[in-house]
Amino acid sequence: MFQFPSDQLLTFATVLSEGTLDAAARQLHVTPSAVSQRLKALEQSAGRVLLRRSNPVQATEAGEVVLRLARQVAQLEADAGRELGLGSEGAELAVPIVVNADSLAVWFLQALVKVPQDLNVTFDLHRDDEQHSTSLLRSGTVMAAVTATPEPVQGCRVESLGVMRYLPVAAPQYLARWFPDFPKGLNGVSLNAAPTVDFDRKDTYQWAFVRSWTGTGGVPERRGPRHFVPASHDFGEAIRLGLGWGLIPEAQCGQDVADGRLVELAPDRPFDVPLYWQRWRTASRGLDILSETVRDVSAQYLRRA
């Protein structure tokens, strides 16, 4: 049975993590020529092109298979080294994880700081919309994900974390301008015509909320102005300043609603998003402890599903 040399797998994963061959060479303390030779040998062994020489480099479809293998091998080697007492300072295992922006802002960092330091792991966080994050699991880019997708990616296990509740809110000055008779005149159709704050072009939650209020036939398309603010704190601040209305996690806006700085547009219509934890099935003490920590901390911030 054919086996990939571990130094070639490590080099391949490092190149993809660092983005360029030169950066990977510095990380591995070898010459760029050595990196290039290892990659060439790996591609010859696989019989496939594994890297797109773009800037940054990207894995081909075949390369994604090899990347998953490389990360799994590194993970297993790190676990074995810890069990044998062979770990040394600076020999950390980088654990890549994809997390949606709101979870990152509200609770996920609280989970990471509770991971025991003796595991000697570092975290490589990727931010992506929870509706799209599983693509990074499929590609081998990450080992774990906070996602809204309940169906397990091949080779992964999934468990429910709970529900993140969002509230549709706006600033009083926004309502004074766009809905002077509030709450009279406010409904899904009128809200759809008013300025909205979206996180980015993947953010469909405001639109989904409008459609849930009106029914699928009530608003055939988005009509009002849309502002894009792709940072969790700044997204909320844009709404507080009156730029538009939007959905903010309850944990981030509850006090503002209580203080009157924000007004809940439809108190009887919260928007709930179930979240799941997906991780590789590969047996790993590090991933097991990380998953346990994520499970415990999320229970303090998310509602039960």
- Chain-centroid distance of CA 264 in Å reads 27
Strand, coil or helix: 163: strand
pLDDT tens figures, 198-257:
999 889 899 999 988 887 666 667 778 999 999 999 999 999 999 999 999 999 999 999
Distance (Å, whole) CA 51 – CA 56: 10
Strand, coil or helix: 172: helix
Cα radius of gyration rounded to whole Å, the chain: 23
Reading the chain (305 residues) residue by residue, the pLDDT tens digits are 568 888 999 999 999 989 999 999 999 999 999 999 999 999 998 888 999 988 888 899 898 889 888 888 888 887 777 777 765 444 567 889 999 999 999 999 999 999 998 888 889 999 988 888 888 888 888 999 999 999 999 889 999 999 999 999 999 999 999 999 999 989 888 999 999 999 998 898 999 999 888 876 666 677 789 999 999 999 999 999 999 999 999 999 999 999 999 999 999 999 999 999 999 888 788 889 999 999 999 999 999 97
What CATH number does domain 164-272 carry, 1.10.10.10, 3.40.718.10, 3.30.450.40, 3.40.190.10?
3.40.190.10
Q: Where in the chain is the domain with CATH 1.10.10.10?
A: 1-70
Residue whose structure tokens are 């990196």:
35
8 Å CB contact between 195 and 243: yes
Q: Where in the chain is the domain with CATH 3.40.190.10?
A: 164-272
CB atoms within 10 A of CB 211: 18
Task: Provide the CATH topology of domain 1-70.
Answer: Arc Repressor Mutant, subunit A (1.10.10)
Distance (Å, whole) CA 7 – CA 231: 38
